[in-house]
Amino acid sequence: MKLEADVLFEQAVETLIHDIHAQYGYDFSGYARASVYRRIKRFLGNKNLASVEELRKSLFQDPYFFENFLQEITVNVTEMFRDPTFFLALREKVLPILSTYPFIKIWDAGCSTGEELFSLAILLKEEGLLERTKIYATDINQKVLKQAKEGIFNLANMASYTSAYYAAGGKTEFSSYYTSSYGSAKFDASLVKNAVFYPHNLATDSSFNEFHLILCRNVLIYFNRELQERVFNLFDESLVSLGYLGLGKKETLAMSQIHNSYTCIDKSNRIYRKTTR
């Protein structure tokens, strides 16, 4: 049985979620509640706020404070070549098929700070496909989009990223893709010269193009079933016939309404191919 304080906290958060949608247009109603409650409690503690009501006042009085809140409440956990076998499967099973197209369009949905985007761009470059590929990198959070475009990451992470790169079938010296300076690794801007960065909210926004490949990895686990279904339908609407969809290790199309329209080409790495329109 929940404590009264927990019930009141959750009720206050529900009201806050409704008001944020009305004020700023960001819809968190479909986000998994356990994650939302945990992140808001942490944010309250970090900002020394005593209640959700205090948080509410600050959010609606100061747009810059809201941007800071958005940075904390949205999920930005990422790394380069995360789950290297996924990228190896892309290299061996998906990119050879995409190479038969004269022009390739890819959507990196929920791109966060760009580690996955640059990993994908490196794969495309090594397979000779980068020049004829346009990548649409989107996220709800405009601050992380700016970081993604800059392509500057913590130099301390490069050792683990290098190992993951080679596990993903890397073909050259990983360090050739970046320059080191003052504890940061700045990746070659040419890797994303054909990339487009702009905000997109998976909870509310519509399809905006047709793609040969959509990546949305480790994002849907933070959504409830209803919102997951909405996003799956959004991706289905956005994929060309015989297009590919890549999800995170803990995500699956198996229970979705669209699963009969897809073939799983790599179960362990959650890569699907659309078979019907």
pLDDT of residue 81: 98
Per CATH, the architecture of 84-274 is what?
3-Layer(aba) Sandwich (3.40)
Q: Strand, helix or coil at 66? A: helix
pLDDT of residue 230: 96
Question: Which residues does 62 contact at the CB level (< 8 Å), separation at least 6?
Answer: none
CA dihedral 82, 185, 157, 88 (to 10 degrees): 30
For the chain, the C-alpha Rg in angstroms (whole number) is 20
The domain spans of the chain are: 4-73, 84-274
Number of Cβ atoms within 10 Å of the Cβ of 167: 14
**Which tokens sit at 148?**
């993604």
Please state the pTM of the whole predicted model. Answer: 0.86
**Which tokens sit at 140?**
């709800």
E strands of 140-218, at which residues? 152-154, 178-181, 184-187, 195-199, 211-216
User: What amino acid occupies position 209?
Assistant: N
CA dihedral 100, 101, 107, 113 (to 10 degrees): 60
Cβ contact 135:192 at 8 Å: yes
Distance from the Cα of residue 223 to its chain's centroid:
12
Pairing type for strands 239-247 and 271-274 reads antiparallel
Q: How far apart are CA 75 and CA 117, in angstroms?
A: 16
Question: Which residues does 2 contact at the CB level (< 8 Å), separation at least 6?
Answer: 10
pLDDT of residue 30: 87
**Which tokens sit at 105?**
């369009």
Helix or strand run (H / E) with residue 242:
strand 239-247
**pLDDT tens by residue, the chain, 277 residues:** 567 788 899 999 999 999 998 888 888 888 888 888 999 999 999 999 999 999 999 999 998 898 888 878 876 668 999 999 999 999 999 999 999 999 999 999 999 999 999 999 999 999 999 999 999 999 998 889 999 999 999 999 999 999 999 999 999 999 999 999 999 999 999 999 999 999 999 999 999 999 999 999 999 988 989 999 999 999 999 999 999 999 999 999 998 999 999 999 999 999 999 997 6
pLDDT of residue 222: 86
pLDDT of residue 76: 65
